[in-house]
Amino acid sequence: SKMHVAYFDSSALLSMLLADTNAERALEAWERGGIRVSSALLAFEGNVVIHRVGLTLPTDQLDVWVAEALQWLDNVRNELLLHEVDE
C-alpha cells in the first residue's frame, strides 16, 4: 500500500482555523492522514494572520481567541513535517 503524502501551505491550514471557503477541502485532505508536510515558515505566517484576525475582534474576545488560535497552530505543527524553504 502507498503512503499518502499531503503538502499543506499556510493558507490551507489557516483556512481550517478560520473556517473560510477552503476549509472543507483542507480538512478532507488533513483527515486522509498519511504524511503531512508544510513549510517551516508556517509558524511565522500563522502568527501574523492570527494576530491580524485578532485585531478585528471585540477587545474582550481578542486575548482569548488569539491564545486559543496559537495553541491550535502549535497542535497542528506537531502533526507536520516542516521543511525549510530554499531560495
Q: What is the pLDDT of residues 18-45, one digit of tens each?
A: 999 889 999 999 998 789 999 999 999 9
DSSP letter, residue 86? P
Task: State pTM to two decimals.
Answer: 0.86
pLDDT score recorded for residue 64: 96
* Separation of alpha carbons 26 and 12, rounded Å: 6
Q: What DSSP string runs through 26-56?
A: HHHHHHT-SEEEEETTHHHHHHHHHHHHHTT
Grid coordinates given for 64: 482569548
Place of cell 501551505: 9
Grid coordinates given for 40: 517551516
pLDDT score recorded for residue 33: 78
* Separation of alpha carbons 85 and 65, rounded Å: 29
pLDDT score recorded for residue 87: 56
pLDDT score recorded for residue 2: 77
